[in-house]
Structure formats: structure tokens, C-alpha cells
Amino acid sequence: MIGLVGSAASAVGLLAAIVGILLGVRAARSGAWDRRLTIVAWTTCIALVGANLLMVAALVGRDFSIAYVAQVGSRSTPLLYTIASLWGALEGSILFWAGLLSIAVVLLVSRTRGPDRALLPASTATLFAILAFFAAIVVGPGDPWRRMDPVPPDGPGPNPLLQNHPLMAIHPPFLYLGFVGLAIPYALTVAALVAGRLDERWLQTVRRWTLGPWVALTLGLVLGAWWSYAVLGWGGYWAWDPVENVALLPWLTATAFLHSAMVQERRGMLRGWNVGLISASFLLTILATLVTRSGILNSVHAFTRSLIGPLFLLLFAIALVGSVILIVARLPGQAEPPPRLGARTTAFLLNNILLVAVAAIVLVGTLFPLFADAVAGAQVSVGAPYFERVVGPIAVGLVALVAIGPSLPWGEWRPETRRALLPGAVVAIGIVGLLLLRGGSPELLAGAAAGSFALVQSAWYIVRRAMPGNGAIDRGPAAVVQRLLRRRRSVGGLVVHLGIAVIALVIVASGAGRQESSVTLRADQTARVGDFEVRFTGTRSEVRSNRVVIVGSAVATGPGIDSPVAPELTVFTGSAQAIATPAIVATPGADLYVTLVDIDATAGTATFRIGIHPFMSWLWLGGGIAALGGLIAAWPPSRRGMATVPVVVRPAGDDPARGILDG
Amino acid sequence: MNRPRAATLLGIVLVAGALVVLVAISLTSAIVYYVTPTELAARSTGEPVRLYGIVAPGSVRWNGADSLLSFRVTDGTTTVAVSSRSLPTALFRDGVGVVLAGRSTEPGRFMADEILVKHSEVYQPLKPGETIPPGLLERLGAGGTTP
């Protein structure tokens, strides 16, 4: 019954999206908004969000007559993971994506006001077209509602790796939110190209719509890294795995856009470049879906087994060719003032070149095995050393720009700018000196110098914005908060920089100070790694709803730690796999990371891998700070404030001391 | 074309060129081939490869004193003796598919830096009638428990 209704709701969503395309194109031609489009948008939203809720109901109700439930559900899976399995496998994730996209259409239609409404018909038509594609997959080749005959009594449950940590349940939706959200700036850009008005208003609107998805992507990436660290048990957080890489790509181009947008805002330059970055960000989200969902990277040959992979490739090709044609045909008509460089513009250009270079490097490394397989038939892998060697130096340059950029003037270089860099430079030189004494590697020195420089400078810029200006009367903490809030774009950007600096420092420090060792212990034997000691106390096994958990109990002691640890091996009933879940004791100085590798019951021994990872907790904190900064910058100004913000290209060279981040 | 624009273009070409060279060099040195035990024989010793095959039943030995794991990997025709100081993450056992990052030290012998158990990314639930591998829970000291 649920299957029939869900199937019908998906079909209604598809039909409404198609009607939306037709009405949207017609409205774009006539130039007037068609009220029926609002109704159509709500119809797709209700139908597709409804279909998602029905699928959740079917999963929770264990309705194994529905193919998707029979594929990922099981009677013994706990509720949280049952709900999370909505997006845990191919068909469900596309249904989930379609639901989110239908919400995006409604958001765009209902939140667009004033002159922006001129862009609404064409942008809604674009979103409807993307939505129709996803809905068509749900109705056609990726139908999750297919009836099972005979109805199985139980299912296998979701992939074990996806059901032993709550982080798994929450990190994919953030990534999907980011991916889906980036379709909105793209749709607005298509509309602006069609209408021939890539003006300042378009820029402001698109920037606002990009910040939200950027925050979601940032959270998704950091939570994904955390999951990898806390669940996979290999002790790392980023493996340069294709699935991780493709999620990083749109983040890189969206970050580049958020910077280059400021150049266009101030100087009117880089219109075409910005259009390119927005289009690339959207195309990369489709590529990410293609890569993560079609299994293309496991084998080129497995790719064509289902129609879904080739269809995504088709969508990618259409969007790519369409974007290029649109840009080539419409962009030259846009007047652009002559380029004027200054210190700040140059820094932004450099930032953009480096970010796009990183994206290109990661893209090449990720897709190379595909080409090698398709062209030469060779099975190869591109390992982490490639990414680390090439991306590493560029990342150091980017972090150094985080430190320097916000202090640079828009106009001519002025000597007093140098003084603004003093606090960070002093700290960075001090840290490099200390590390030199202890014999650090060149990579460690460069990373630590850039990271500490960026950290101190970003904090310093925020403090300076909180301080009263010349002649202003300071009215205590309330005035400080008010000053910061008034310049929330600037402050938000700097808070993001603070988070990035923290992340950079943790990456460098945890990489350099990492210790690891494997030991086989009898009961009551103790192993020592670094400053920590681990005493094995014994094993026990527990039977939980759908699994047998074998725990290797131990007691860990060390600086700030005296606690039992319980790394686990989990054997799931529905699967032939056993999963090792590490036990992590986090302290501000370091994480103690204990993995149970094996138990030999006859010999009475347990084998542990014990790792020490310095400062890891700060990595997640840095991600949180960056996301918070994005939220501060995205927070809409009050209605009153919005009316007074002039949307004009300021004459070049004005206000050289202040940054463009001021807003 | 005026001079600043020419300079900008030249700059872009130089940066892009440097990038392409950097990528090409790093990529060629970082490419690692996947090989079967049979194909391994054709490769020179010391070259980093990823060797994939099945862990030969009964071949796994763990020397706790030296922290050295040794086992044999086979593709049905050729068998290679593997030793490693690294330990597999998930459960590693007889008959399981593995991917070993490392290099051959001499013909027929392989040193693995990293052992990846191939609990393939495409999720494989138990087939109908299949149960948890016999002996697995017993070996882990959890025998007699049924979920």
C-alpha cells in the first residue's frame, strides 16, 4: 500500500516538474512571472517530500514488499540507522536528493523578492529541469518502490560500516544539502546569462545563495573526516579516497567564488570567471554523484550494468555543454570595466588560481585510474603521496594568503600595511625557531609557520574590528558585539579564516607527532607507546540486536588519562564481515587511539594497534569554527540595514585601508 | 593587446605550465599498478605495486615477538609468500580477498606495508542460507552466542 502511494507521489513529482519546465520557459520568454509556477513548485515539493516520508515510514514499518526496504532494511536494525538508510544506498539517495531539490525550488520561489524576481522564471525552469531528471530516475531505472514477489520475511540491513556510529547518520545529509544547494546559484546564473544581466544585484543574490550550501559542505566534509577517523579504525581522517575527493572539489570552487565575488563587487572585474566558478561548482556536484553512486571507480565495466550511471554521465554532459554554449553566447555582451589591480585584488587572484589549481590536481588524480583503465586497460591506483606532494605546497601558500590577504589595501601598496602583519609574523618566526631547535622537517616548518601566522593574524583582524574606531565612544561589551555584528560579512569571513588556520595547524601537528605501534598482549600485560600505557584486562562478548560485539577491555593511563578503553570487533548477523571499531580517548593535547585487531581465544591473547594523534580534537573544533563563520557571514542583514546597503561598484581606489570583507 | 594584459597572459601560461609539469612528474611517480601473484613475477623487485589475491587457507602465522605477520597469497595458479609488520584493520582470515600495498623483495616473496581486507565497497550481504563464517565467533572467544 505504501509502495503504491509512494510510487504515485514520485510520478506526480516528475509530472509537476515537467509542467514546471514548460511554464517556466514560457514565463521566461514573456518576461512575466506565472503564478501557476508557485503552485507547481509546492506540488513537486509536497509530492517528493511526501515520497521521502513514505519511504521512511516503509523502512520503519519494515515493509519488505518494497524493493528498497528489502535491500537495506532489517528487523533488527536500530531506529536511527533505519531512518539513515533512506540515503544509505543508491535508489534511496536519489529519492532523498529529489526531495531536497524540490524544497530548494520552493525556497527560491518564496524567498526571492524585488528586482531579483526578473531572474525567477528562467532559474525556476532550470531547477525544474534538474529536478525532473532526478524524479525520472526515481520513477524509471532507480525505482525504489518496486514490489518484491515473494515478500521476504526479513532483509540484510544496511552496510555494517554505515551502522556503527551516529556520525554516519548525519554526515551524508550535510553533503547532500551542500550539493543540492549549489544548484540554486547555478540556476540563478543561467537565468542571468539568458537575461543578459550579470550585474551587481545578481552577484549579491548568488553570493547569498552560495554561503548556505558552503556551510553545509564544510560541515559534511569535516563530519565525514571525523567518521572516517572514529569508525574505520585506520587512524587517519582523510585517505584521498575518490569518494572524499569528489566531495572536496565543489567546496574548492565554491570557496574560490566567495573570494572572487568580492573582486567583482569592488572592481566589476571577473564576471566571466565568476560565472565559470558557479557553473563548475554545480557540475562538480553532479560529478560527485556520478562517481559515488554509479560504482564507476570500482570498475569501468561495472558502470554500464545499471542505466543510472550512464544517465548521470548524460546529465553531466548536457549541463557542461549547455553551460559552455550559454557562456560563450551571452558573456561577451556584458560590459566590464578595465582591470585595475592593487595589492588586495592581486591577493584574491592568487587565491583563486591556487584554489582552482588544487581542484584541478585533485580531479586529475581522482579520474586518472579511470582513464588508465579505459584507454590502456591498466588497473592502477594514484596514492596519497601524489596528492600530498602536489597539494601540500599549494595549501601552505593558501594558508599564508589567509594571514596576509585581509590586511592588504585595495589601492596602492602602503608601507603601514607591513605593521599590521607584525603580530602573526613574530609568533610564526618564534614557532619556526623552536621547531628548528628540535629538528623539524622542512614540510613541518613551512606548515607550522603558515598556520600560526594565519591563526594569529585572523584573531588580530577580528580584535581590530571589535575595537572602537577613531573618535567613537566605547560603550562596553555590548558595543563590541554591535560593532562585530554590523560588519558580519567581514567578521564571518575572518572567523572562517580562524577555523581554517586551526585545521591547517592540526593537519601539520598531528601528521608530524603521530606515533603508532602494534602489540599482542596477554591479560594484565602492559604496552607502552609514547607517554601512554595500555593494560589489557580481558575480553568479553555481548549480543546486541543485530550483532555480536567482542570487546577487548583495557585500561589506558597517561597525561590526563586514567580510564578504561573498550575497542570492539563487531560481527553483524546479516553480513560476512567483521568491523573493528576503535576506542578513542580524546584530550586537548592528544588522542589515544586503540584498535582491537584480533583475538586468539585459544592462546588467550589480543592484538591491539595503539596510536597517538596529537591535537586531533582541535580538527573538529576548527571545522565547527569555519562553519560558524560561514553562518555569521550568511546571516541576512536586518530589513532596515538591507535598504541602506548601496549596491554599486565603488570607484576604484577608494578607502584603501579598509578591506572588502567589510560589509 | 596592451602590455599589462600580455603580462597577465604570460603569467597565467607560466603558472599553468608549471602546474602541468608538477602534476605530470608527481603522477608518474605515484602511479601504482594492481597485479595478481602471477603478474607479479613479470615485475621488477622493489617496484611499489598493489598485489591482490586470496589468503591461502592455513598459511597465516603471527610472530608476536617480532611483530611480524606472514601468510601466502594466491590467485589459483601462483602463490606468493607475504610478510608484513603492518596489521589488517578489519578481520583478516583464511580465504579472504586482500589488497597488499608493498613490493616484492625477491621472486616469490612480498613485503606488504599495508594490508587492505577486501570487504568490497559494493556491500555483500549474506546469501540466503549463509551464516556467519563457521569458527569465526569461536576463534574470537564469542562461541555459543547467537544474536
What's the gap in Å between the CA of A446 and the closest CA on chain B?
19
How is residue A208 written as a grid cell?
Answer: 547569498
What residue ranges of chain A have pLDDT lower than 50?
640-663
CATH number at residue B112: 2.40.50.140
The reported pLDDT for the residue numbered B21 is: 85
Can you give the pTM of this predicted structure? 0.89
B54 and B110 fall within a common domain:
yes
Does residue B144 lie in a domain region? Answer: no
Q: How far apart are CA A645 and CA A653, in angstroms?
A: 19
List the strands of the sheet with A583-586, edge to edge: A515-522, A605-614, A590-600, A583-586
Does residue B132 lie in a domain region? Answer: no
Q: How far apart are CA A135 and CA A45, in angstroms?
A: 11
B106 and B39 fall within a common domain:
yes
B19 and B44 fall within a common domain:
no
What's the gap in Å between the CA of A547 and the closest CA on chain B?
6
Given a contact cutoff of 8 angstroms between Cβ atoms, the answer to whether A451 and A508 are in contact is: yes
The reported pLDDT for the residue numbered A600 is: 77
B21 and B45 fall within a common domain:
no
B83 and B12 fall within a common domain:
no
Q: How far apart are CA A500 and CA A162, in angstroms?
A: 28
B54 and B6 fall within a common domain:
no
Does residue B78 lie in a domain region? Answer: yes
B27 and B40 fall within a common domain:
no
Chain B contact for A75, CB < 8 A? no
AA letter at B96: V
The reported pLDDT for the residue numbered A656 is: 38
B50 and B110 fall within a common domain:
yes
Chain B contact for A339, CB < 8 A? yes
Q: How far apart are CA A448 and CA B47, in angstroms?
A: 33
**Residue B14 lies in domain:** 1-31
Classify residue A525 as left (phi > 0), alpha (psi -120 to 50) or beta.
Answer: beta
Kindly report the backbone phi and psi dihedral angles of residue A580, in degrees, each rounded to the nearest multiple of 5, phi listed first: -95, 125
The reported pLDDT for the residue numbered A660 is: 37
Instruction: State the ipTM, two decimals.
Output: 0.74
B2 and B25 fall within a common domain:
yes
The reported pLDDT for the residue numbered B2 is: 53
pLDDT tens figures, B15-35: 788 888 888 888 887 788 888
3-state SS assignment for residue A155: coil
The reported pLDDT for the residue numbered A232 is: 76
Q: How far apart are CA A216 and CA A184, in angstroms?
A: 14
Q: How far apart are CA B70 and CA A51, in angstroms?
A: 52
Does residue B19 lie in a domain region? Answer: yes
B61 and B2 fall within a common domain:
no
Given a contact cutoff of 8 angstroms between Cβ atoms, the answer to whether A125 and A28 are in contact is: yes
Does residue B130 lie in a domain region? Answer: no
The reported pLDDT for the residue numbered A174 is: 94
**N- to C-terminal Cα distance for chain B?**
76
Give the count of alpha carbons within 13 A of A128, CB side only: 29
Does residue B86 lie in a domain region? Answer: yes
Average predicted confidence (pLDDT) for chain B: 74
Least CA distance to B35: which residue of chain A? A379
Number of domains in chain B: 2
Q: ∠A547-A548-A550 over CA atoms, to 5°? A: 140
Burial of A617 (0-12, 13-18, 19+ CB in 10 A): middle
Cis peptide before A150 (omega within 30 of 0): yes
B15 and B46 fall within a common domain:
no
3-state SS assignment for residue A539: strand
The reported pLDDT for the residue numbered A504 is: 95
Q: DSSP characters for A472-515?
A: PPP-SHHHHHHHHHHTHHHHHHHHHHHHHHHHHHHHHHHHHS-E
Does residue B136 lie in a domain region? Answer: no
Contacts of A556 (CB under 8 A, 6+ apart): A532, A533, A534, A535, A562, A563, A564, A565, A585, A592, A594
Does residue B68 lie in a domain region? Answer: yes
Residue in B30, B91, B139 closest to A601 by CB: B139
B4 and B70 fall within a common domain:
no
Chain B contact for A295, CB < 8 A? yes
pLDDT tens figures, B76-120: 888 899 988 776 655 566 777 788 888 888 888 899 888 877 654
Residues of A in contact with B146 (CB under 8 A): 543
Cα dihedral sign, A4-A10-A13-A19: negative
